[in-house]
């Protein structure tokens, strides 16, 4: 006891100092980060003053008159969405040229090459678990890439100014589904955007999926990519979009104990280990219900035993009736 006490008092100050240091360093680094974010937001305000709204104003240096012009739709940044996006803490000039600081912007800046996801996220230890390299390979194999080559890039689906990852948040699956499907519908339900990349007529999604029972229910509860992308174990969200002929059409791919939803839609939650004992695919049970995929082991077993007892009872009764029948 004495020995323990001496050791404790001897080591206490060291531990205490380390603990205080860690707390101080962490709070300093958090504070530094917060300050930097606030500074960046203030800096971005200079750009958003024009790009954050549908019109912008300037003084014509020749005439000295104030001019109001409409901002091109593609160059408008939605402030609210940007403030919630993954890239919210970046400065505009982290990705765009610092020369944008001047107005009118120099014409050569139009030729500025834009970053792809992999330029920042590839080969970085911090993002290793997301396996961006694999995502890039999967995307290269997808119809989006093979059919449209260079014209189709990450930004087509993941707008860098608004995109946010929500599968890891506590949002409901249904909200995640709506958010993710909106990305597909952005082009697949908009003829003008769709025809930016092809001359084909955009297929009518409702009509194309007429074969699908309970269509509206499926659309609200399942992401497009569940059936249209090939799942890959090493990445969280499948990026290998398949040609329509290869889309999942067999109901039992989802409606069975080996439901592919467990490898796609519910993958993150499965990895979190939120399954319930006794239930197959218990994760789905938290928010949804998939016939054939949600089963209870004990209920199945009990029903089998009861079916067995009923059958045995009938068999015994029938046999006795035959044996004891009037001769």
Nearer to another protein by Cβ, of 81 and 296: the residue is 296
Is residue 289 a contact residue for another protein (CB under 8 A)?
yes
**Among 93, 137, 242, 296, which residue sits at the site for another protein (rule: CB under 8 A)?**
296
**Among 196, 299, 301, 305, which residue sits at the site for another protein (rule: CB under 8 A)?**
299
Site for another protein in 209-238 (CB under 8 A): 213, 216-217
Q: Rounded to the nearest whole angstrom, what is the least distance from the CB of residue 181 to another protein in the complex?
A: 17
**Which span (47-55, 180-188, 265-273, 307-315) binds another protein, by CB under 8 A?**
307-315
Q: Rounded to the nearest whole angstrom, what is the least distance from the CB of residue 130 to another protein in the complex?
A: 30
Phi-psi region at 169: left, alpha or beta (left = phi > 0; alpha = psi -120 to 50): beta
Nearer to another protein by Cβ, of 76 and 290: the residue is 290
Closest CA to 200 of 237, 147, 275, 269: 147
Q: With 0-12 CB in 10 A as exposed, 13-18 as middle and 19+ as buried, what is 144?
A: buried
**Among 168, 306, 308, 312, which residue sits at the site for another protein (rule: CB under 8 A)?**
306
**Among 162, 255, 263, 268, which residue sits at the site for another protein (rule: CB under 8 A)?**
255
Task: Kindly provide the b/e burial profile for residues 120-134, where b requires at least 16 CB atoms within 10 angstroms of the residue's own CB.
Answer: bbeeeeeeeebbbbe
Nearer to another protein by Cβ, of 126 and 207: the residue is 207
| Residue 254 contacts residue 264 (beta carbons within 8 Å) | no
Structure tokens at 268: 């993150």
User: How far is CA 82 from its chain centroid?
Assistant: 16
Residue at token pair 């799942």: 231
Q: Rounded to the nearest whole angstrom, what is the least distance from the CB of residue 270 to another protein in the complex?
A: 18
In angstroms, the CA 189 to CA 194 distance is 8
C-beta neighbour count of 262 within 10 angstroms: 21
What residue ranges bind another protein (CB under 8 A)?
A: 213, 216-217, 250-253, 255-258, 285, 287-289, 291-292, 294-296, 299-300, 303, 306-307, 310-311, 313-314, 317-318, 320-321, 324, 326
């Amino acid at each position: 006891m004495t020995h323990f006490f001496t050791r404790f008092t001897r080591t206490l100050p060291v531990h205490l100092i380390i603990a205080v240091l860690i707390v101080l360093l962490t709070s300093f680094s958090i504070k530094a980060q917060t300050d930097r974010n606030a500074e960046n937001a203030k800096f971005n305000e200079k750009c958003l003053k024009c790009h954050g709204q549908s019109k912008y104003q300037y003084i014509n240096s020749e005439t000295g008159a104030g001019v109001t012009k409409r901002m091109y739709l593609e160059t408008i940044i939605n402030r609210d969405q940007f403030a919630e996006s993954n890239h919210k803490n970046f400065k505009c000039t982290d990705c765009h040229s610092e020369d944008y600081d001047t107005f009118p912007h120099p014409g050569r800046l139009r030729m500025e090459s834009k970053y792809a996801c992999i330029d920042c996220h590839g080969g970085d230890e911090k993002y290793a678990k997301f396996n961006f390299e694999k995502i890039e390979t999967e995307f290269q194999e997808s119809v989006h890439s093979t059919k449209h080559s260079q014209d189709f890039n990450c930004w087509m689906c993941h707008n860098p100014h608004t995109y946010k990852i929500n599968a890891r948040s506590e949002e409901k699956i249904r909200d995640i589904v709506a958010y993710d499907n909106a990305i597909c519908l952005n082009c697949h339900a908009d003829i003008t955007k769709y025809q930016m990349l092809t001359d084909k007529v955009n297929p009518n999604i409702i009509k194309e999926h007429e074969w699908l029972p309970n269509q509206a229910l499926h659309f609200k509860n399942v992401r497009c990519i569940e059936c249209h992308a090939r799942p890959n174990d090493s990445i969280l969200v499948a990026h290998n979009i398949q040609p329509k002929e290869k889309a999942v059409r067999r109901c039992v791919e989802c409606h069975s104990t080996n439901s592919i939803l467990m490898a796609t839609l519910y993958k993150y939650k499965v990895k979190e280990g939120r399954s319930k004992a006794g239930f197959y695919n218990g994760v789905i049970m938290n928010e949804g219900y998939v016939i054939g995929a949600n089963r209870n082991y004990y209920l199945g077993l009990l029903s089998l035993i009861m079916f067995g007892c009923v059958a045995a009872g009938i068999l015994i009764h029938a046999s006795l009736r035959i044996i004891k029948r009037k001769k």
